Amino acid sequence: MHDERRRIEERVERLQNQRIRPAIHAAAVPFEVTAWQAPGEPVPFEEAAAAPYEPFAMDTPWGPPWGTTWFRMHGRVPAEFAGRRVEAVIDLGFVGDWPGNQAEALVHRTDGTPLKAVNPLNQYVPIANPAAGGEVIDYLVEAASNPDILANDFREPTLLGDVLTAGDKPLYTFKRADIAVLDENVWHLDLDIQVLRELMLELGEHDPRRHEIAHALDHAMDLLDLDDISGSAAAVREALKPALSKPAHASAHIISGVGHAHIDSAWLWPIRETKRKTSRTFSNVTSLADEYEEFVFACSQAQQYEWVRDNYPQVWARIQESVKKGQWAPVGGMWVESDGNLPGGEAIARQLVHGKRFFIEHFGIETKGVWLPDSFGYNAAYPQLAKLAGNEWFLTQKISWNQTNTFPHHTFWWEGIDGTRIFTHFPPVDTYNARFSGEEMSRAVRNYAEKGAATRSLAPFGWGDGGGGPTREIMERARRLKDLEGSPRVEVEHPDAFFAKARAEYEDAPVWVGELYLELHRATYTSQARTKQGNRRSEHMLREAELWATTAALHAPGYRYPYEKLDRLWKTVLLHQFHDILPGSSIAWVHREAEAEYARVAEELEALTAEAVAALGGGTARVFNTSPYDRAEVVRDTAGTPVYIEVPASGSAPLTAAAEAPRAVTVEGRVIDNGLVRVEIAEDGTLSSVRDLRADREVLAGPGNLLRLHTDLPNYWDAWDVDKHYKNRYTDLLEPSEITVVDTDPLLGSIRVTRPFGNGSTIVQTITVRAGSPRIDFETDIDWHEAEKFLKAGFPVDIRAAHSSAEIQFGHVQRPTHTNTSWEAARFEVSGHRWVHVGEPGYGVAVINDSTYGHDVSRTVREDGGTTTTVRLSLVRAPRVPDPGADQGRHRITYSLLPGADIEDAVAAGYALNLPLRVADSAGEPEPVVSVDGDGVTVEAVKLADDASGDVVVRLYESRGGRARGVLRTGFPLAGAQVTDLLERPLEDAATDGDSVAVELRPFQILTLRLRRS
């Protein structure tokens, strides 16, 4: 037989594109359209309905960037359409091949009822099936003219990312607004051909099934009357039926499909637009559920549900109904799909608490899994946190984006730093926006790493980010692929059902231990430094407000714990931990608003804390220590005078000097000495020496606090990526304009170094050593005006460290300092929280920070045989896409070098730097709410129980990486204690002895105690 594949394939493609698809809505009449351009921000439906409208013709430009245009559409169903399936077809002038991040619209009835959205790949609105001729159709259509930020393929900066700079030139040209007949035979024929043709092209050239499909298609095309597509469609479909009816092989891979519409809570659009995107997509989804009884839609992010509940109550009611029917599956159990690395441990706990509670309260459903398909890596505390929130499974897809190494599993047990394991799946289809194409189905089978041991995988399907979610075309593909020879079987089902089946057949799945590091998007640890600093400050101020509000609630008569305010502020912070806000990968508008929100949060939290402290009553001036560690350090009193004081953990003390004063600090020339460390500053402003006087050893093996400015142009994704070649080109900032002694008090000595550089930028650093502490602080004020640059601060230390340790949520991770394998080499930029530690037996050094997350650790061997281990903090970047002004302006960052530190010293110093002592003019003398005896037992949160019962909730963890025993004592009469999950639900009783609770923790274990007051 002759090989005619090329002829057949080209024939089918042309007929489908040029004849069959145009015939799907061939019978159509136009709407009469009028328009009103809303001024400024979006307006409520009632205002738009009362606005003056003007005539509007098709092929007319409309829509300034970020604008809203309301269209009135009036029409009548022609008599000849009676008895047929009639729908509105609206093309706003969609461009490109990405269904999100461009024009979208929500169609309303004239009474304000939302019907359905219009999106690039979802342009219809049902009218009637069957229709009655003569029916009058009136719509009000809210159309958003969002600019396509991706139009230049992320290669060049654009000013479209902020309404303040985007201009007002219309972006789109309206193409179509019709009342049309959906020719169902033609529509189904198009889908039949799609599925068969795509399957055919994925099969091997020697596979008989490929040739069988080709000849079936060729024969069917002979039956297509080009002059009467509609009239001949049924015969063509009948001819294709045998090819579509052959069942899949018994061993065919099984794909569990679940509807999905990944909607970034902000990214290339502001939060206000996400509120509308959710309403549009959720309208589509509930409409689709009415058409397909087998449809199941999985949706995460409680925040988005709340937006719809508050702004679109009719859509909210439809969601509730779909949940009852089992067609809508709340998943994820988090407030938003947060970043996986940067939020603090308590913040991730609250993400889970607030998310799961929302779904329990509003739907009576407790979600079973963590759904994070798109975050940029996942910290190693997640398995424990997920399990403590009552979860059974974890899903992501993003690790398939790895730049260097292919992750070896798709279904596995993920083991966290404490030993907790959670059943985890990566969909081998490698997308969370599947459409069941032949290529996707083939890829899923080809990629699937568990062949021979397991048989099934998950495929989230639907268009995201404003694309409208799943479509009827995708559902039709799923029906055809349910049991089709040559393809995996597709079953549409709840993700819980998939995970139950996957675990049942693969209980002995392999284990992956430690973090899920994404070998890409490493710059998200640094980009948009002010956003990251706002998050860090907010997390610690929330901790402070909760602690002192709890103290006041216990000790101040008449004081009311601010449940509602704290709940609202937590949710604001949790929202901004979304995986394109906190990582710094959003447009300028998003980060401008984020900075304003963080400032508002700080102001409110400062007021709440001050109110709680004031409620404790009058007395003497006191110092309050929010840290879980005792503090002995220098603080300035209300007059600005330095005082050396001692304050207990989570408690307070009078603002009076400690009985035993430490040795005085001396400043001579460029040398600061406090008897514990001696710091020498070179003429170029770097540290030429740091001598640990206690250990009698030099700490540095080269210039310390070396500020290095790298050229930073990644291959792609500017705000997201830093590629390895950034290290090859740099300038060391070694020309200070001024070095000045600024403090010579016996309790502290400071030297200021000023460095102008680059494109008018300046760094002013105040280097401070305080009495009684070996910690060296670098208070850094950066006026940043660089572009495509990356600023690092490096500390080469004379330590042979086999690994570095970096703080993460509720513990730390160790990473090798060598690059023996490609896995280690790929970790050339990593994330951490408040500290990084390197050490050799008997001696270690920590680098502490108050707001940065990215760092790198490397080592070299010197000619003398010694090893230099260099820790470098990433301070600020200057990407231009998607925000051309990213990071420009002022930054205030403090980081510290702590010589002679072990892990526990690093933990304590991290808390101290991030939780400055608070000085109150006058306050009472309350007992600490709780105090803990026991090395490694660290208090992370103290608060009143969320149910307003008055119980005190304390979250502890083991912070050193070893076993710990201790005793928690209460500053109030204790009636009983329970161990709870993160949602403060009892797991077991805790043994009490008077006003104390014995605590025993495994390495990095998190323990939540609920303490009942007498």
Q: Give me 510's structure tokens.
A: 């392999």
Q: Cα-flanking dihedrals φ and ψ of residue 976, to 5°?
A: 175, 165
> Minimal CA–CA distance to 1010: which of 949, 923, 926, 962?
949
Cα–chain center distance at 251 = 38
End-to-end CA distance of the chain: 91
- Record the tokens describing residue 880, joined without a space: 């231009």
The Cα 417–Cα 396 span in angstroms is 19
What token pair was written down for 41?
Answer: 């921000």
* Burial (CB count <10 Å: 0-12, 13-18, 19+), residue 693: middle
DSSP 593-609: HHHHHHHHHHHHHHHHH
Q: Catalytic: 374?
A: yes
Q: 978 forms bridges with which residues in the sheet?
A: 989, 1010
> Which residue in the list 339, 374, 721, 743 is annotated as catalytic?
374
Residues 6+ apart with CB under 8 A from 899: 677, 690, 692, 695, 699, 774, 776, 845
Asked whether 46 and 100 are in contact (CB, 8 A), the reply is no
Q: What CA–CA distance (Å, rounded) separates 467 from 123?
A: 10
The CA distance from 670 to 680, in Å, is 6
Cα atoms in the 13 Å half-sphere on the side-chain side of 151: 13
865-897 in b/e form (b: 16+ CB < 10 A) is: eebbbbbbbbbbbbbbbbbbbbbbeebebbbbb
DSSP result, 147-198: --GGGGTTSS--GGGSTTTS-----EE--EEEEEE--HHHHHHHHHHHHHHH
CA atoms within 13 A on the CB side of 362: 24
* Alpha carbon distance 276, 298 (integer Å): 19
Specify whether the CB–CB gap between 430 and 400 falls below 8 A: yes
Please check whether residue 1005 is in contact with residue 958, taking contact to mean a CB–CB distance below 8 angstroms.
yes
Only one residue has tokens 């003429």, namely 683
State yes or no: cis peptide before 130, omega within 30 of 0.
yes
Contact predicate 258/297, CB 8 Å: yes
Alpha carbons within 13 A on the beta-carbon side of 475: 20
Structure-block tokens of residue 138: 């009136």
The DSSP output letter for 230 is H
Residue numbers annotated as active site: 374
